Structure 1
Amino acid sequence: MHIDLTQRVAVVTGGANGIGRATARRLAQSGARVAIWDRVAALGNSVAAELASEGLEVVFVEADVTQRDSVEAAVTATVARFGGIDILINNAGVTRDAQLVKIKDGAVTGGMTDDEFDTVIAVNLKGVYTCTQAVVPELLKRGGGRIVNASSVVALNGNFGQTNYVATKAGVIGMTQVWARELGKRNITVNAIAPGFIATEMTARMPASALEAMQAHTPAGRLGSPEDVANAYCFLASEFAAYINGAVLTVDGGLVIGT
């Protein structure tokens, strides 16, 4: 299967690291012109320059997905550079893990803070809403397009210490299905990716014992790579996925069935 995204313009939020970086490269290798949206300008410019040195058409646009003004400015900058937008990959995400209530010897000793909860909601859930709402008018101008959102397998089964993260990723599935209904008639498909445990900077901060346990429960016998997820994003952004709408594609090596 040869995916050809020539003349397509793609936005990848959180594109300066991990899965986002691999996705920007994969889309550009398929011919897309790619705008990396990220908060960290130094890193984003460095990644864009690295990919451009490989002969890929990639630019960095500074954007904070939690701020509507920043997102709207990023849309304007992307359209000014490339003439429009065809593909939106809502990849940006953060974690702030903590137990809902931490109990020791029968007494409450701590728990998730409001700041930890609100930060994850702002990026992982509201950020997807804000970016999608801002980009859809540009997709309509092009006669349609593709939106692919980042969920997670933890949205399906929960995960210890991730009340905030799981809530956002379950919410993303719900929004994906609503938007698939609302936008499908406009030739815009909306789907979600649900990665398992992928070897990125985010999972590197997890305890080694937790990662080993997840790997042991994964039928594929390994953690995923950013490229595994990037390939799925690229497929759902392509014409091969033209009749896939409102779907959640797990990219987890079988983790969901292995647990």
Structure 2
Amino acid sequence: MGSVQNEAKVAIITGGTSGIGFALAQHLHAKGWRVAIVGRRADLGAQKASYLDPLAETAAFEQCDVASYSAQAAMFKNVWARWGRLDLLIANAGSVDSGSWDNFRRRGAAVDDLPPEPDTTCTDAHLKGLIFPEYGAVEAGVIHWVRVNAPLLKRKEKITINTVMMGPAITPVMPGFAKAFLPEQLVLPATIIKAYDLFIDDDDNKRTGETVETAHDQLFWYEMPEHKAGKLNVRNMLVYEPWFAVMYGEKSGLEDALQEAPEGNAQDTGRVEEFGVGMM
């Protein structure tokens, strides 16, 4: 491959063999990106990658179960070995519930008839599968994780992280999906692509810690809500460098981090209330 090809950006797309994932793979590939299509089905993945590039120079399939840390680690190593860089991870893989924690169908079971172990495939893919590469969590958790960690990751690693909140879209994940929604309640594929492009096309890496929601043909930005306690809780949002250095071996370097204990702290004023103090 020539030098121009070597300069092309590389994206890993989990759950990339169908639906939204493959649509994003097609979109990025058409824009000149090299894409690693990640999924569990080797036959389908190889077919989709070959559709984009039969020579496997700009599109390749990587078999991986995102619920497995070792599988994800091997996948990342393989992509790096193939193209020598990584510019974008779209953690798109997921599934619907395979079981239930609630066991509503077993209300009449005897007390000693314990239910089977819940199938946590959904949790493993959505939550653990995202946490393994240290890029986020899931649903409400991912939004908060992104907001909290975005400044630090950008400062330390020059990595930007953002969230696309996905509305209902027709994909192969559920049969008869369209029957459960009115047409105007379904997110259009073009809207999803538009949301991702807000971050993908941010060549200067200015956007980070942001969340955008998709809804039919519109996008809505999620702003960080204010604390109900106002200035009383401002301190809770700031990194305390002495603690950070102890935990991570170096300071955070964040502009708003507290370098030392604030004057008039609780210990200085004698206003210390600790759980367990004075208890018998």
- TM-score w.r.t. length of structure 2: 0.64
The residue that corresponds to 1:128 in the other structure is 130
Give the Cα–Cα distance (whole angstroms) in 1 for the partners of residues 145 and 139 of structure 2. 10
1:199 and 2:170 correspond = yes
Q: Which residue of 1 aligns with 2:160?
A: 189
Residue 16 of structure 2 aligns to which amino acid in structure 1?
G
Quote the offset at 1:197 in angstroms.
Answer: 0.9
User: Is contact 2:151–2:209 with CA below 8 Å preserved after alignment?
Assistant: yes
**Aligned 1:1-259 pairs, distance under 5 A:** 7-52=8-53, 57-96=58-97, 101=102, 108=107, 115-116=118-119, 118-130=120-132, 132-133=133-134, 168-185=138-155, 186-206=157-177, 208=179, 210-212=180-182, 215=183, 221=184, 223-239=186-202, 242-253=205-216
* 3-state DSSP of counterpart to 2:161: strand
* TM-score, reference length from structure 1: 0.69
What CA distance in whole angstroms lies between the structure 2 residues aligned with 1:83 and 1:181? 26
Note the C-alpha offset of 1:175.
2.4
Structure showing the higher strand proportion among its residues: 1
Cα RMSD (Å): 3.2
Deviations along 1:122-180, one digit per CA (max 9) or x if unpaired, are 100110111x23xxxxxxxxxxxxx7x7x9xxxxxxxxxxxxxxxx4222222222331
- Separation (CA, whole Å) in 2 of partners of 1:256 and 1:98: 32
Q: Residues of 1 paired with 2:93 and 2:81: CA distance?
A: 22
Aligned length: 208
Bigger relative CO (Cα 8 Å, ≥ 6 apart): 1
Q: Deviations over 1:51-105 (max 9, x none)?
A: 115998211011111111111111111011111211111111111167764769x
1:194–1:251 contact (8 Å) kept in structure 2: yes
What SS does structure 1 have at the residue aligned with 2:118? helix
Counterpart of 2:167, as a letter, is: G
Q: Counterpart of 1:228 in structure 2: which amino acid?
A: T
Gaps of 5+ in 2: 1-6, 110-114, 221-280
Q: 1:66 & 1:75 partners in 2: Cα distance?
A: 14
- Calculate percent identity across the aligned residue pairs: 27
Distance 1:42-1:250 versus aligned 2 partners, 3 A rule? same
Looking at secondary structure, tell me which structure has more helix per residue.
1
Partner of 1:155: none
Answer with 1 or 2: which has the greater Rg. Answer: 2
